[in-house]
Amino acid sequence: MKTHFILLLIGAIVACCASAHAVQDNDSLDPTALRCEYLEEPVGVDSRLPRFSWRVESHRRGASQSAWQVRVARSSEALRRGKAELWDSGRTAGNDTNQIEYQGMALKSGMECFWQVRVWDEKGNVSKWSEPARWAMGLLNEQDWKAQWISCEDDASYHKDRSKLHLPAPRHYRKDFTTKREVKRAVVYASALGVYDLYLNGERVGDAYLQPGWSDYKKRAYYRTHEVTEWVRSKGKNAIGAVVADGWYSGYVGYGLLVGYGPDKVGRYFYGKTPAFLAQLEIEYTDGSRELVVTDESWRVTDGGPTRESDIIMGEAYDARMELGEWALPGYKAKDWERAVLASRNPRIDTVYTDRAGRKPVNLGFEKPPVMQSYMAPPIVATEELPARSVSEPEKGVFVFDLGQNFAGIVRLKVKGERGTRIRLRFGEMLKENGMVMTENLRRARVTDFYTLKGDPEGEVWSPRFTYHGFQYVELTGLDVKPELDAITGIVLHNDTPLTGEFECSDPVLTQFGKNAQWTQRANFLEVPTDCPQRDERLGWMGDAQAYIRTASYNADVASFFTKWIDDVEESQLSFGAYPDYAPYPMAHGGSGKSFGSGWTDAGIICPWTIWKVYGDTRMLEEHWDSMTRFMEWRYASTAVNGLGTSLGNPWGDWLNVGEKTPIEFIDTCYHAMVLDMMEEMSLALGRRLEAETYRERGEKVAKAFEAAYLNEDGTLKVDTQTAYVLGLSVGLILEDLRSEAAMHLAGKIEKNGFRMATGFLGTRSLLPALSEHGQHELATRLFQSREYPSWGYEVVNGATSVWERWDSYTKEFGFNGANGKQNAGMNSFSHYAFGAVMEWAYRTLAGIDTIGPGYRHVLIHPRIPGSESNPDNEVVDWVKARYDSINGPIRSDWKVEDGMLRMNVEIPANTKATIVLPSKDVSQIKEGGALVRLGEHFHSIDSEGDVTRLLVGAGTYVFELPFTR
């Protein structure tokens, strides 16, 4: 007996020791996907306390992390030796895998850092150390910048004739330099007032477009960090160069030309006249010495290169006969080039600037951006190529290529021909009946590229660099013979936010719509979340962004993209506290003191709140808290006496609704209540209890005012529009016990309207969620499946590959002139994501993937399966497959109704738990993996309530089966 006990004890000790060692079998929990500030191996990090994240992966059910340890060193070798001179967190209990702040030695400018992580699982087994990941710091202090802003010498006046386009050639800059020793590391920090491409020793550095990005250059400029160690030759001759175009700095922006904004109303020069460039190459030699090559007056500049015109909106013109040869290689004789000047040497240009807010004096001369900020979002790159599907010749010599998809980007032109032949490319989203490209909706955007051949017998290949278009069709003229199909290839450009969502269901129209929404997001996540990519607009419209952001987060990992844009939003905040109509905000849309709109201005709260919800990011909230507080104070102070909303700002309201106008005061009341709720929630998350209390009290006041002003005793509203009900329900302003009445009334209104929506941007976003939440799920599904105007399906059955701006952007009866034949074809984008916001409902409600609390730590799987009556017009949806790659890993919810059974496949990522809600109250009928569901190892709680059963589970994959009749 005694020996037996001792043996047992020894056994236990051995087992215990073994478990303290790294587990390597299939059961282990392994850290992967290491990221810093949401990016893989970023360079130019300018946060002094960067945040880490990783994922843990395991094949085991219920796998979770109980502790973690991060080590940071100056080299990966040091880590391998177990040395962490910058930071060793030590074993830290907890299951956090993201938003983990660096807490080590002070990080310095330019520093290279290497980190790794190991984790302990729920049983105390420790993983191996992850492979080291790297990041590099940016320039943290103003004094780190030794480079000076340079420019060409420019004392010419600016373009003042609004009737003519002015499209100056980009400038080439260059400088030779010699390295004296063996190069260990070389990094360029670069920025431009304008947009730039960097070159080293003959090659373009990196694959990003439109660098450094758009900001209010008078307040702040982005810079990029390029690691160029590979490019720089040791102990030898080198050359650095750049091409710099106007970009957003001095080129055409938005609808400025159309409406006559800017200096002399010419629609350009929103920040200044002459582009400038800034670059600092830091070379570290193997002997530890350092050398800098910086922009200064020793650089040369020319505007004589092949690109003759270049503008983001208007297009690019390239004359291959003017190519500069090896201008970016060392030793190039820059004969006709001029000496660059310090940008500050160019004269001030005092003039008057006009926009809706009035006239104000401005200086178009150089002003040094007071703040340099690293660009910490995925760059704009070519993410895909689209070969042409067909080419037609609707008129003699006019060749029209169809790329099969509406997208944003550029084309690659491949041609052979005589020297001096000039090719013109025009772009459009749709074709007219005669087969010609439709360009009316481009308004004043020229959207035309030109290419002049040098006559290379081998053929010539060209793509523009500093423009982009929104299109599906390309019109090529200038060739006598019909070109081959491969003369045109589409190049898809956007900020490279990784795609995270997949949605498919038994109704192919909905599946296609989901794809269209994803494409439209890609077409518009270009530097800022734009409204549209084709016409002279392309602005970061706030109303569109707030309506769509949650859908955006299902489609792609948008954490860093929005982190960057919300900085732009704060920067654009108006002096009195409101957030403006779009960000950046180069021109005022509303009159003085009125440049905001209900629902649009609230994006400054809704967007950070959403990013916090989806990614658990509290730092963003902290960083913008002062700004958000200022906004809330303004919002509260500008309510009407009793807390009701006002109509002080821009009058868009439920923009592009179909014949039902909801008063702005009503909308304003609802949005105020919405952001008060969000602020209360965020205050609590940040431990700001007093503020939470204030927002709660204000929220109550607004709710009472709403009740008194708008709510009838029977749950109907005094404002009788679909959108009024949608907002009242979704914001929770309609008293709880009246909500189902109100939803029934809403349903009745929709029915009376022929089962058609009447909602615009604001109402549509929450229409289906409000219906589904309040007992009208069948109707919600029916609307989503509708193919009748106005509906999402109407677009799809009319051939859409993207989401349209208006429900009637195109109609069978009136083509591009809308439902009544009287629409303005110019205000008609075929790539506008706002109405695509319904995809949030597709993921959250139909597929049922959601988060309980912030950051998908506790996943909710609650698919709402439409009943058999849900659709008299179309086949009832009987299966859905959805996948969402959350910050913690992939979540899947697939369901199918078949032969009286519901089958569901669910995947929950390691280190999270999930509540799975199944549509049956009878637990004894629910099987998982072939066995009845039982409280125990896999199901931590089982509750039946109403018509559903809730199961609390850990990570893993689950296959459910239960009888189900609709």
- The residues binding ligand RAM (CB under 6 A) are 531-532, 537, 541, 543-544, 652, 655, 832, 834
For every residue of 23-73, DSSP letters joined together read P-STT--EEEEEEETTBSS-EEE--SS-EEEEEEE-SSTT--EEEEEEEEE
Tell me the closest approach of the beta carbon of residue 531 to ligand RAM, in angstroms: 4
Give the C-alpha separation, 57 to 64, whole Å.
Answer: 9
Per DSSP, the chain holds a count of helices (H) and strands (E) of: 17, 51
At CA 299, angle to CA 298 and CA 300, rounded to 5?
A: 120
CB of 219 to ligand RAM, least distance (A): 24
> Are 960 and 904 in contact, with CB atoms under 8 Å apart?
yes
Q: Cβ of residue 555: shortest distance to ligand RAM, in angstroms?
A: 18
Chain position whose Cβ is nearest to ligand RAM? 531
Helices in 659-817 by DSSP H: which ranges?
A: 664-685, 689-710, 722-730, 739-752, 761-773, 777-785, 792-797
Q: Which is nearer to ligand RAM, 656 or 758 (CB)?
A: 656
Among 197, 206, 265, which residue's Cα sits nearest to residue 230? Answer: 206
Residue 38 or 652 with smaller CB distance to ligand RAM: 652
| Degrees, nearest 5: CA angle 152-154-159 | 120
Amino acid letter at 508? P
Grouping H, G, I as helix, E, B as strand and the rest as coil, residue 391 is strand
In contact, 203 and 215? CB cutoff 8 Å = no
Element (H, E) at 9: helix 2-20
Distance of closest approach, residue 345 Cβ to ligand RAM, in angstroms = 39
504, 665, 778, 805: the catalytic one is 805
Return the CA Rg of the chain. Answer: 30
| Nearest-approach distance from CB 670 to ligand RAM, in angstroms | 18
Nearer to ligand RAM, 589 or 698 (CB): 589
Structure tokens given for 418: 């005589």
Of the residues 537, 680, 773, 778, which is catalytic? 537
The answer to whether 537 is a known catalytic residue is: yes
Q: Looking at beta carbons only, is 107 or 532 nearer to ligand RAM?
A: 532
Q: Using the minimum distance from each CB to ligand RAM, give the nearer residue, 537 or 568.
A: 537
Return the number of the residue (794 or 804) whose C-beta is nearest ligand RAM.
804
| Structure token digits, residue 764 | 């549509």
User: Least distance (Å) from ligand RAM to the CB of residue 632?
Assistant: 22
In the complex, the smallest distance separating the C-beta of residue 490 from ligand RAM, rounded to whole angstroms, is 23
Helix, coil or strand: residue 679: helix
Q: Shortest Cβ distance from residue 541 to ligand RAM (Å)?
A: 4
Nearer to ligand RAM, 467 or 534 (CB): 534
CB of 581 to ligand RAM, least distance (A): 7
Q: Which two tokens stand for residue 297?
A: 């007056």
d(CA 449, CA 510) in angstroms, rounded, equals 36
Closer residue to ligand RAM in complex, CB, 644/727? 727
Angle at 890 between CA 562 and CA 561, to 5 degrees: 10
CB 617 within 8 A of CB 99: yes
Q: Which two tokens stand for residue 227?
A: 């690691």
3-class secondary structure, 241: strand
Find all residues with CB under 8 Å of 518, minimum gap 6, and list them.
Answer: 499, 501, 555, 556
User: For residue 215, what are its two tokens?
Assistant: 């900001």
For ligand RAM, the closer of residues 756 and 832 by Cβ is 832
Cβ-count burial of 637 within 10 angstroms (0-12 exposed, 13-18 middle, 19+ buried)?
exposed
Active site (catalytic) residues: 537, 805
